[in-house]
Structure 1
Amino acid sequence: MPLVETLPIGADTAQWSVWGTVARIVVTDPARVAEAAELVKAELAAVDLACSRFRDDSELRWACRSGGTSVTVSPLLAHLVAAALDAARQTGGAVDPTVGAALCGLGYDRDFALLTGREVAPAVRVFATPDWRAVKLSVRELTVPDGVLLDLGATAKAVAADRAAAEVAAKLGVGVLVALGGDIATAGMAPAGGWEVLVQDRPGDPADTIRMPAGAALATSSTAGRTWGRPGEQLHHIVDPATGRPAVPVWRTVSVAAYSCLRANTLSTAAIVRGHAAPDLLGKAPSRLVTPSLDVLRLGGWPS
């Protein structure tokens, strides 16, 4: 997972482990940090119950077992699925929520914390995944084609960061930064000079310390963080929907700044999938791309 950290860590900060990564929150009023943490934990628990593909009791798993018939889902799951379908639409299918079966075929069939160190059988065949356009959502009526397993991992964590930050700012009246691994969202007033953030994937990788204004967001997608192996190959979790295989690691990491974490994550994930075409995809978005040899390409006014 990307080591994207707020600096410094003090009384205004709380952190804990969740979803195989680290959740960290920072607030502008240290006296409200405990309340803020409880609000964020509740939001993450609700998102997990709605859309985890690792829980048999999640609403998403229930919808995927519907045999291709339309089901009425909660407003939260409808929001999360809509975000995933919008990301697919915006990226021409580079970020596609129908990659769940491909990820399971690759061995990513449980929470990543439980996957680490586990040997994956080499005999699993992996097929190209169905197209996201086969999934239908009308307000709260969701239809998932029979046999399709949705995976919202490319967008749900970013949506959760956006939602949690907005809720803390609205309910507690404080400025807040919510970081879920490489997904960062802010809301409310920023500290003087902005939110100071260290962007670095792994120890020893290139590092940038940047300042984010109020309301800004940042996402880092990595081909080096969530990896696992099976005989003869090393795998990572960002699947190219065109092949059902891990995207070719043209980039070790891509970091993108935007004014929602969902938008930032959509672009960073799509850039990994698009490989050499990533600079054209990113356009003027402030971005930092790191190659496997640790060379850094900064685009769109990313601070040097």
Structure 2
Amino acid sequence: MHPSLSPWIQTGGYVTACLLFLSCGRSGSLPSQDIQLTGSTMGTVWHAKLPAGPKAVGSEWKPFQAATEHALAEVDGLMSTYKPASDLSIFNRAPAERWVPVSPLTLKVTLQALAWAEKTEGAFDPTVMPLVNAWSFGPTDRRTDAPTEKQLRQIQKLVGYQHIQVRESPPALKKNLGGVELDFSAIAKGFGVDFASAALVKAGAEAFMLEVGGELVVQGQKPNRTPWKIEIEQPNDDASFGSSSQIRVELASGQAMATSGDYRNYRVVDGKRISHTIDPRSGRPIEHNLASVSILAQDCTTADALATAVMVLGPEKGMELIESLSGVACLLILRVEEGFEKKPSSNWPS
């Protein structure tokens, strides 16, 4: 796949918030010396932008493309719930009380997911998979009606991060109840960004921006020594592509951002619009007025997990969580009678 010199706009059903990436100039204007790479992974599209330098001449972009593709493919191959041979798919099919060998990478993400589940008291929960399937947002067959109260009560017995046990050496996972399943869709993309970012650095990239389906990280600076500039699309409830306004934020080297929202990925069930974000505690899609949340953190794994946790918690409790954490900031966009209202955390960049 060759470098692209056209502007990127990430869209599609798997993306919860659209991001427009800016270069040194105006929106939509890209200097010719910038290298842009792209590919597909995890049901979405990835993009990388590298300011050109001595290593970015002629075919020298190929190692960066290969490093990114290989890293993302490894994460996807291990943690996809759509690939039958992935670690997660094998674990999800396994019976209770059996240790299932997994890769060190899968173990690492599991430990991080369980830690955030405990920290958020279950608002983020990697065992939400049975509920995701019940509401037809997972890999199982789609249904047109909502699950019944009786069905939800039965399904919720299978949801709870406490059902998962971890063995670090050799790495393995075990469930204490049959039917418990793991779903890393709220953390694997962020981890993939971090993993591919490390691969780019190892391949010799000194400055870049890498994005996977709305989760991104930046490294180094642009040639003119200015920060990377990102624009977050303002939510649009008619789900049409594009928006008349964006929110600009500057990211420092090593900073990551993840955005989650409910205005693009949703379904209509029994005549009612429902969000793809499921509250593991209630078993139901969220219904509050938080339209989207953007998280800034020092790694994309954290940003990804927290974006989902805040979407589940809602604006008040979500903001309380972010304000209690160090090195993390958020921007909430709320639905109000007049349209949308921005609510930044105290340390969101001005």
Normalising by structure 1, report the TM-score: 0.90
Secondary structure of the residue aligned to 2:128 is: helix
> Which residue does the alignment assign to 1:235?
274
Cα offset, 1:106, TM superposition:
0.6
The 5 Å alignment of 1:1-304 reads: 1=15, 2-8=17-23, 9=30, 11-29=34-52, 30-31=56-57, 32-68=60-96, 69-110=98-139, 120-122=143-145, 124=147, 125-126=151-152, 127-128=155-156, 129-139=158-168, 140-144=171-175, 145-187=177-219, 189-191=220-222, 192-202=225-235, 203-204=242-243, 206-275=245-314, 276-283=316-323, 285-292=328-335, 293-304=339-350
Deviations 1:18-72 (A, max 9, x none): 3343311112334454322221111121111111111222221111222011122
Secondary structure of the residue aligned to 1:49 is: helix
Describe the shift of the 1:249–1:38 C-alpha distance in structure 2 as closer, same or farther (beyond 3 A): farther
How far apart are the structure 2 equivalents of 1:142 and 1:164? 24
Describe the shift of the 1:53–1:59 C-alpha distance in structure 2 as closer, same or farther (beyond 3 A): same
How far apart are the structure 2 equivalents of 1:249 and 1:177? 33
How far apart are the structure 2 equivalents of 1:288 and 1:91? 18
Asked whether the equivalents of residues 121 and 230 of structure 1 are also in contact (C-alpha less than 8 Å), the reply is: yes
Q: State the AA in 1 paired with 2:174.
A: T
How far apart are the structure 1 equivalents of 2:207 and 2:118? 32
Asked whether the equivalents of residues 332 and 342 of structure 2 are also in contact (C-alpha less than 8 Å), the reply is: yes
Higher RCO (Cα < 8 Å, 6 or more apart): 1
Deviates more, 1:96-105 or 1:79-88: 79-88
Describe the shift of the 1:209–1:141 C-alpha distance in structure 2 as closer, same or farther (beyond 3 A): same
Asked whether the equivalents of residues 250 and 291 of structure 1 are also in contact (C-alpha less than 8 Å), the reply is: yes
Secondary structure of the residue aligned to 2:274 is: strand
How far apart are the structure 1 equivalents of 2:71 and 2:85? 17
Ranges of 4+ aligned residues in structure 1 off by more than 4 Å: none
Describe the shift of the 1:121–1:95 C-alpha distance in structure 2 as closer, same or farther (beyond 3 A): same
Secondary structure of the residue aligned to 1:294 is: strand
Describe the shift of the 1:16–1:253 C-alpha distance in structure 2 as closer, same or farther (beyond 3 A): same
Cα offset, 1:123, TM superposition:
5.4
Describe the shift of the 1:57–1:205 C-alpha distance in structure 2 as closer, same or farther (beyond 3 A): farther
Identical-pair percentage: 24
Deviates more, 1:23-32 or 1:75-84: 23-32
How far apart are the structure 2 equivalents of 1:61 and 1:121? 25
How far apart are the structure 2 equivalents of 1:251 and 1:33? 40
Cα offset, 1:303, TM superposition:
3.1
How far apart are the structure 2 equivalents of 1:278 and 1:220? 14
Asked whether the equivalents of residues 228 and 250 of structure 2 are also in contact (C-alpha less than 8 Å), the reply is: yes
Normalising by structure 2, report the TM-score: 0.79
Q: State the AA in 2 paired with 1:248.
A: E
How far apart are the structure 1 equivalents of 2:230 and 2:347? 16
Cα offset, 1:206, TM superposition:
4.7
Cα offset, 1:262, TM superposition:
1.4
Cα offset, 1:122, TM superposition:
0.7
Deviations 1:103-134 (A, max 9, x none): 011111339xxx9xxx7321544333521011
Secondary structure of the residue aligned to 2:123 is: coil
Gaps of 5+ in 2: 1-14, 24-29, 236-241
Deviates more, 1:55-64 or 1:146-155: 55-64
